[in-house]
Amino acid sequence: YSTPGCTFTSNTIVANDGDGIWAGNPDSGSMSVVNCIVAFNDGPAVALSATYPADIAFECVCSFGNAGGDTLPGTTATCIYEDPLFCDVGSGDYTLASDSPCAPGGACGPVGALAVGCTESPVAPVSWGRLKSVLGR
């Protein structure tokens, strides 16, 4: 839930049973979301009530893998629509891999609430032939 005039800065909003961010206050005003990750939520990255004025500014926000969509409704600047490469989603470790697009060193600097916690992304590209040889097929 959000109130107009508020700013979300450096948050990691992940794995919610519903929306990542829900803006429902019908009062006039604006909202800013800066250097946040909104990923892998069961609803959309951002949902607005029918009466929300939709004056939202997104800057350096990573939106990815949200079941209801990754669209950021409002003004966007330098947003990232790539996998944030968390260290271990299965165990709830949402620190970032060193090669994450949200890690320090990118156009936005560090994005999200947590720092780099593992040295490389947990998933590496592999050819189908290599995978079959590992599986013994």
pTM summary value: 0.82
Q: Among residues 30, 41, 129, which one has the least CA distance to residue 84? A: 41
Q: Among residues 67, 81, 91, which one has the least CA distance to residue 37? A: 81
pLDDT at 116 over 90: yes
Q: What is the CA radius of gyration of the chain?
A: 17
pLDDT at 122 over 70: no
Report CA dihedral (11, 61, 118, 85) to the nearest 10 degrees. Answer: 120
Rounded CA-CA distance 39/55 in Å is 22
pLDDT of residue 53: 64
Segment 49-83, tens digit of pLDDT: 877 766 789 999 999 999 999 999 888 999 999 99
Rounded CA-CA distance 102/109 in Å is 7
pLDDT of residue 31: 84
